[in-house]
Amino acid sequence: MKVLIIENDHGIIEAVELTFQIRWPEVKLISTNLGEKGVELVEREKPDVVILDLGLDDISGFEVLKQIRLFSAVPVLILTVKTDESDIIRGLEWGADDYVVKPFRQMELLSRIKALTRRRGAFLTETPLTCGHLQLDPSTGQLFYDEKEINLTPTERAILTYLMKNSGQVVTHHNLAESVWGDDYPDAANSLKVYIRRLREKIEADPGHPEIILTKTGVGYMLARPPV
């Protein structure tokens, strides 16, 4: 297991390294504070996961992500001090698999990384799911709405898989977070809100007035059961 950290704050790099040394010592860590160097390391070192800061000194984290996605599908978890949802959405649109907002809990960061690596093989034995016009093959990540193919990030795939398996039932924030990340966190509901918004933009005719993924205020979400 090899993890590449692209981060310009040496304090954060040291904190992440210490966390791995204590909790996951078998992981090999590589780090750089420069985006261009980070892209080179992804190509040369072939890491299993990339932890990417959006606020780098030489080029933006968005540009790093864009360059990585030209040649690699490595899972990328972005770190950001930006709490503007539009910045997070932009990172997901450019190919990030998950995100954590600084300041972050170290155990949450480790759990998110473990979830990303676990998902790479977890879906291989899953059977295709169908719910109304939605058809999802978890093993390949292919989602079809009618005949239109829709690209999903691994996190979006995990969320939609759980919702489709429980279509017509209200899924709580707690249960959905545990299914996706292996644990529930104080900010998990906010993270789920971002991903649900992204999924709605991809599959709803009018994301502002959803008819497929419904919100149950204060409780969670429900994938509407298609009419018989």
- Rounded to two decimals, the pTM is 0.82
Cα 136 to the center of its chain, rounded Å: 18
Q: What is the SS3 assignment for 53?
A: strand
| Residue spans of the chain under pLDDT 70 | 82-84, 119-125, 227-228
Contacts of 115 (CB under 8 A, 6+ apart): 98, 158, 180, 181, 182
175-214 per-position pLDDT tens digit? 999 998 888 777 788 889 999 999 999 999 999 999 999 9
In this prediction, residue 123 carries a pLDDT of 57
In this prediction, residue 215 carries a pLDDT of 96
